Chains A and B, each alone.
Chain A
Amino acid sequence: MSLFEYAPALESTAIVNIADKYNLFINGKFVAPKSRKYFPTINPATGKQLSMIAEAGAADVDLAVTAARNAYVKVWSKMPAAERGKYLFRIARILQERAREFAVLETLDNGKPIRESRDTDIPLVAAHFFYHAGWADKLDHAGLGSTPKPHGVVGQIIPWNFPMLMLAWKVAPALATGNTVVLKPAETTSLTALLFAEVCQQAGLPDGVVNIVTGAGATGAAIVNHPGIDKVAFTGSTDVGKLIATSIAGTKKSATLELGGKAANIVFDDAAIDEAVEGIVNGIFFNQGHVCCAGSRLLVQENIHDEVLEKLKVRMSHLRLGNPLDKNTDIGAINSEAQLAKIKELSAAGDAEGAERWSPPCEVPTDGFWFAPTIFTGVSQTHRIAREEIFGPVLSILTFRTPQEAIEKANNTPYGLSAGVWSEKGSKILWTASKLRAGVVWANTFNKFDPASPFGGYKESGWGREGGRHGLSAYLKASN
């Protein structure tokens, strides 16, 4: 027991106003679903229901696509690019003004710590809108020819791990490039997307430019398969990504897919060890490990394995798990019962396959969904926990002997989204980065995001890039 216990420091929830039920946002208005169905959304930290969310059926999706098409043809495609940019700037400013409200709502609905929603998610959301607002009238300088053209109506399906940030990654570039949007948030985390719909109204965004249809997999399939959709953008699991790719094969639709990952975080023996430990923690325990680019496979040079492990355990014993609304919480709740079951299943597989499990002593709340930060040592490439994406606060620790072996192991995965390299030797970092088959390689840091930096994967981690100049090409057809 520490001498210095931090008393609860709860962020007030008075700033958010959660309705009993939410309708669909189509053509600038909130409308009841033709399906007449609603489903509950809960606070994963307590298991208590927050609200009821409309479940959009095929007829509702059709209305949304029609609204988006009308808005595209009649308003958005005719508007001067500089005017489009103004709307994005306006949205960005409103998001900043209402940042605390979004952060609290995100934490309530998703379970992530308020420190992260407040200091990472929402500031990055605003940054993405500001960044893309600047691009709106400069697209002829994007390297895609003199007059690149938007696709038209874009169907976007986003995951539950960064609900607002993924919305921003999708909506901001789509609007900046002149597309209109039908967006489906994840069924467990719809609330901030629906608050964003209010922001669109507040910004005076023309009706139908952004439409938000809530629901689960069937709603997503209705979007993907709707003939009025010109392009699909999806972030989520590799399994669903493959389904989407199959269903749009042979159609006019193009797609960007941002899928799973099993990132290697490589720590060489000449790394700054304390900061590498910090990077390991940030790599896997940020957002409870619900991060597609999480550094879930630690590859540590064998000659420093024990030292790194000892320091990692000390560092992990300082992680504070608990109420996500507490400003001092480092590890929040697991987003859903289903996800918790998956994490437990894979962790049990780790035990069964002979890896050694360790967690710091920590009290885990009884209500809601929780999983203590966990590491597995003695993991080899053949273990399931070294190959499959766990998407939770579970780190697999492997060792390597030489830089060549580190590269071999790092690339020995069907995924290729991200990787980390820790060394104080610049030439080694550059050599390693050039050999890694991963879309993002961080050097002496991890999980750093910036709207100007393209993000996306190799191999089964996805198609295309989001963010930066590269990300624009996902929403534009190049001209001559």
Chain B
Amino acid sequence: MIVDSSESSLKAFLKTLPAVDEVGVTSRAAMLATRSIKTSSKAWAIDTAISMVDLTTLEGADTPGKVRAICAKTVRPDATDLTVPSVGAVCVYNDMVATARAALDSIGGEAIPVAAVATAFPSGRASFAVKAQDTMDAINAGAAEIDMVIDRGAFLSGRYGEVFEEILKIKEICGDKAHLKVILETGELVTLDNVRKASYLAMLAGADFIKTSTGKVTPAATAPVVLVMLEAVRDYYNATKVRIGVKPAGGIRNTKDAIKQLVLVNEVAGSEWLDPALFRIGASALLNDLLLQRMKLRDGYYASPSYVTLD
């Protein structure tokens, strides 16, 4: 794919992308939602989903105590069953990165990365200098993954070059120190054509992951949106032999939803993406439901929610 960051070259490229038919995508997603995942495949899916969770706390009320608590859960989601895998990462605001890193390191979670939201998350409305500093702060504090937001205002007004440049520069800051996830905030882009265009902008500018949402806007990771993003990474791989990851975030609250996401991955992008290196789920409440369903498969009955920890 030959593009430079000039506005005209990007516009010309994005115009070559085939359109998305919303009705068709929605019905394909609805069909895939009927897949019935039982017994051994359900057990596999639950453990895989757990290992893909980016356990997230992104609240104004976050404190070191709260962050340490979710770090403990990240390393050992179920204290009563050590066969439960660790989750993919812990995701926090940049001022909490150091706390999270220290907490993880102190309890045997050295291998678990800390992801930081950056670039004036969630709105992205700040000068680039602020966004760059935000990113550098997070990396300096030990973040190994940066979840940046794109400038939706620039995108919606057709200034694709600006969106592209910004991602490019943040990627430079990340260098080899941090993986870059680019949040499209699909709930604000609204159309699936925009989702496809923004996915390509992010991939061309160097994203390691494309991510649906901040979690602060509804709708978030709907199945049609995730399906279009999975098609984008599949087609991008076919063109470049580079695999970009996908991270749905927001609105995935229970095991059924998570398994539906895995079915989408399996049948749209392909099973190579069924790997925490290429697929993550941004969530908080989801983890406990995955744990409850795991207990149900193991024990044959539903445990009381009191048996999973609230952190």
Chain B 249-277, CB-CB to A under 8 Å as 1, else 0, gives: 00000000000001100110001001000
| Residue contact A275 to B36, C-beta cutoff 8 Å | no
| Residue contact B19 to A278, C-beta cutoff 8 Å | no
Interface residue tally for chain A (C-beta within 8 Å): 26
Total CB contacts across the A-B interface at under 8 A: 72
B25 in the interface (beta carbon within 8 A): yes
| Residue contact A4 to B266, C-beta cutoff 8 Å | yes
- Chain B residues near A274: list those with CB within 8 A: 18, 20, 24-25, 231
How far is it, in angstroms, between the C-alpha of A272 and the C-alpha of B17 when the chains are bound? Answer: 9
The answer, among B18, B28, B35, for a CB contact under 8 Å with A6, is B35
Binds A, one of B39-47, B76-84, B85-93, B172-180: B39-47
B21 in the interface (beta carbon within 8 A): yes
CB proximity to A under 8 Å, residues B21-57: 21, 23-25, 27-28, 34-42, 44-45, 48
- Chain A residues near B27: list those with CB within 8 A: 278
| Residue contact A7 to B274, C-beta cutoff 8 Å | no
The SS class assigned to the B binding surface is helix
- Chain B residues near A119: list those with CB within 8 A: 34
How far is it, in angstroms, between the C-alpha of A318 and the C-alpha of B35 when the chains are bound? Answer: 13
A93 in the interface (beta carbon within 8 A): no
How far is it, in angstroms, between the C-alpha of A272 and the C-alpha of B40 when the chains are bound? Answer: 37
- Chain B residues near A273: list those with CB within 8 A: 18
CB proximity to A under 8 Å, residues B197-248: 231, 238
Chain A 369-386, CB-CB to B under 8 Å as 1, else 0, gives: 000000000000000000
> Known contacts A2-B266, A6-B37: does B24 contact A278 (CB below 8 Å)?
yes
Q: Point out which of A6, A9, A310, A318 has the most chain B C-beta atoms below 10 A from its C-beta.
A: A6
A271 in the interface (beta carbon within 8 A): yes
Q: Point out which of A3, A115, A119 has the most chain B C-beta atoms below 10 A from its C-beta.
A: A3
Chain A 249-286, CB-CB to B under 8 Å as 1, else 0, gives: 00000000000000000000011111110110000000
Closest chain A residue to B39 by CB distance? A7
Residues of A at the B interface (CB closer than 8 Å) are 2-9, 115, 119, 270-276, 278-279, 310, 318, 327-328, 424, 444-445
A-B contact pairs, 11 of them (CB 8 A): A3-B271, A6-B41, A7-B41, A9-B37, A119-B34, A273-B18, A274-B20, A275-B23, A275-B24, A276-B24, A424-B19
In the complex, the 4 A-B pairs of residues with the closest C-beta atoms, listed nearest first: A275-B24, A9-B36, A272-B21, A275-B21
Residues of B at the A interface (CB closer than 8 Å) are 18-21, 23-25, 27-28, 34-42, 44-45, 48, 231, 238, 262-263, 266-267, 271, 274
